[in-house]
Structure 1
C-alpha cells in the first residue's frame, strides 16, 4: 500500500483473519482502457491496453494516478489482457511476458507514490478470463470448450507471477462462466492474497447462461475470496443482483458496472449512450456492496463523484470482509 500508514503490502498470513478496513466502503477505479484512449493511445490490436506495458508505461502510471487523485482507494493493474498464450501469439517471449505482469503491479505502485495522498492506497492485480486472449469479445461469452485442467494451467502461470509481484489484492474479473469461476476460486485459495470474484452478467445469468445464484455461491467456500459481484455489465443488471451476491456468498458484494454502452467487438467500438449514475451507490451499499467503482467507459470524473458520495456516508466501523482458515 502507499500513502497513510505503512504496512506489509504483500499478502495475508493464512493463520490470521483477513479484513479490509471499512470505516466506509472502498472506492475502486474506473476503466483503464478509456483513460488511456483519452490520453491519445492507440489500443487497436489483440493486446489492447496491455501493449502499453511494453511501449508506453508512463501513460499507464498517469492513468492510475488520475484515478487515485479522483478518490479511488484501489487501482487495478493493466494485466487483464496479459497471458503467456496471448503474448506468444503476438511474438512476445515468456520472459518478457512475465516481466510485463510484474511491471503492471510496479506501475500501479509508482502511481500511488506519485499521487502523494494522505490515505492508504492499494493495488489489485487484474486477472481476466481466458476469453480475453481472443480479443473478439470472448470474455462476454464463456463456454470455451476447455477442460478444467487446461483452464487451471492457463491461469496458474500468470497468477504465480502476479502474486510474486506482491499486489494487495487479486481482481478476478469479467468472468463470464461458472466453470471458469470454479477453477479460479480453487486457484486463488492456494495463494496468500485476498481476491474478489467478479462476473460479467446478462440479466439473472452469467454470460455463459448459468444462474447467478450458482455463480455467486462459488465464493462461499473460497477462503481467499473476500467479495463477489459484477463488473463490465450495465447498471440495471447490477442493481438486480447485488443482494443475491451477498445472500449466496455470505460475503460483501463488489460492484463496478460499465457505462451502459455496448461493446461492438467487430468494430472495436462502444455503441449507445452512457447510463452510469454514481447516484446509485447508496442503493448498492444498502444491499451489501463494499467495493464500488466503474468499468469500461467510466472515467475519473464519475469516480470522483462516486467517491464523494461514499465519503459522505456515516456508517459504523466494521470489516468489509473477513477470511479465516478453517
Structure 2
C-alpha cells in the first residue's frame, strides 16, 4: 500500500472550475469542470501548474464530476469517457513534470485522484444535502470503474472528497480496502451549518468510524466556509489521531438551486486563518470552490 508522510504540514491545491472559467472554459453544465477534459485539456495542465507554482504539494485531478454515466449522458461512448478519466491523471502528472523541470523543486509532489460523491453525478445540489439512498453494492458499482481508471493511470492516492452521505463513504472505503489494497485515500466530508455531515450524521461519529481503517491516511472537511474551519478541525481532532485535512471555499456563498455564487467582500484572508487551522491540528490545508493560486500562495507562506 502506498505510504505518504502527512506528519508535516502540506499544501493542497485550490479550485479547478474557477480557474478554468478564467481561461474561457464553460463549466455551467452537468459535467462542470470535467468539460475541460473534452474541450481544453491544456487549460487543465495550466491550472495544475499554477497551483504547484503557488506552493501546492498535492494536485487533485479534474475528475470530481468525471464518471462514466455522466459522460454517457453527455453523448460520449464508454471508451471515450474512460479515456478522459485516465487523462485527468495524466494532465496532472504532466503539470507536475513541467513544474519540476522548470523549478528544480525538491519538495515531494503528489497527484490525488478525485472521487466525488454520487450526489455530484446527480448535478442537482445533492452533494450539499446527502439526500439520496443506494445500497452499498450500488454505490460501489457506481464508483468502481472510475477508481480503476484513476488507479491504472497512476494516482498516488484517492481523494474521497465533498462526501455528504455516511453510507456512501463507508461503501467507498470498503471498496478501497477490498479492491485497491495498494492505494490509500483521504476522506473529506461535506458538512451542514450544524457541523454534521449533510445527511445529518454527527461528524465525530463519521470520523471515528474510519479511525481503524489504515488505508484512510487523512480525514477532514472541504467545501465549507472558511470561518467554520477552526471549530471543525477541533471537532475532527476529538475523534481521530489521523492527519486532518481541510480545504474550504474562499468565503463566497453558493446557491445550489440557481448554481450561482454571491461574493462576500469582507471575507477573511487565508493568510490570517491558515495559522489558526494549523494550531488547531490541521496538517493538510488547501482551498475548494472559488479559491485561486493567490490563496494557495498565502497558505503556503503561512505554513512555511
> When the two structures are superposed, what TM-score results if normalisation uses the length of structure 1?
0.87
Partner of 1:267: 258
Gaps of 5+ in 2: none
8 A Cα contact 1:54 1:100, kept in partner: yes
**SS at structure 2 position matched to 1:230:** strand
Matches within 5 A, 1:253-292: 253-273=244-264, 275=267, 277-278=269-270, 279-292=272-285
Greater RCO between the two (CA within 8 Å, min separation 6)? 1
Partner of 2:188: 198
Partner of 2:56: 72
> How far apart are the structure 2 equivalents of 1:97 and 1:263?
29
Matches within 5 A, 1:102-121: 102-116=86-100, 117=103, 118-119=105-106, 120-121=108-109
> How far apart are the structure 1 equivalents of 2:268 and 2:30?
27
User: Residue 297 of structure 2 is aligned with which of 282, 300, 304?
Assistant: 304
**SS at structure 1 position matched to 2:210:** helix
Query: 1:107: Cα distance to partner?
Result: 0.1
> How far apart are the structure 2 equivalents of 1:121 and 1:227?
16
Query: 1:219: Cα distance to partner?
Result: 2.1
Partner of 2:229: 238
> How far apart are the structure 2 equivalents of 1:196 and 1:178?
15
8 A Cα contact 1:61 1:111, kept in partner: yes
Residues 48 and 57 (structure 1), Cα distance of their counterparts in 2 relative to 1, 3 Å cut:
same
User: Residue 155 of structure 1 is aligned with which of 143, 151, 158?
Assistant: 143
Matches within 5 A, 1:79-90: 79-90=63-74
Query: 1:21: Cα distance to partner?
Result: 5.4
> How far apart are the structure 2 equivalents of 1:133 and 1:81?
6
Partner of 2:201: 210
8 A Cα contact 1:257 1:295, kept in partner: yes
> How far apart are the structure 1 equivalents of 2:287 and 2:151?
24
8 A Cα contact 2:89 2:113, kept in partner: yes
Partner of 1:143: 131
Cα deviation per residue 1:44-63 (whole Å; 9 max; x = unaligned)? 21111101111110000000
Structure 1 segments, 4+ long, off by >4 Å, are none
**What count of residue pairs does the alignment treat as equivalent?**
295
User: Residue 46 of structure 1 is aligned with which of 24, 27, 30?
Assistant: 30
**SS at structure 2 position matched to 1:96:** helix
8 A Cα contact 1:219 1:227, kept in partner: no
Cα deviation per residue 1:53-75 (whole Å; 9 max; x = unaligned)? 11110000000000000110011
> How far apart are the structure 1 equivalents of 2:165 and 2:92?
28
With 117-126 and 296-305 compared, the bigger mean Cα shift is at: 117-126
Cα deviation per residue 1:127-163 (whole Å; 9 max; x = unaligned)? 0000111222111111312122111111112111111
Gaps of 5+ in 1: 1-10, 13-17, 312-326
**What's the C-alpha RMSD, in Å, of the aligned pairs?**
1.5
Residues 286 and 110 (structure 1), Cα distance of their counterparts in 2 relative to 1, 3 Å cut:
same
> When the two structures are superposed, what TM-score results if normalisation uses the length of structure 2?
0.93
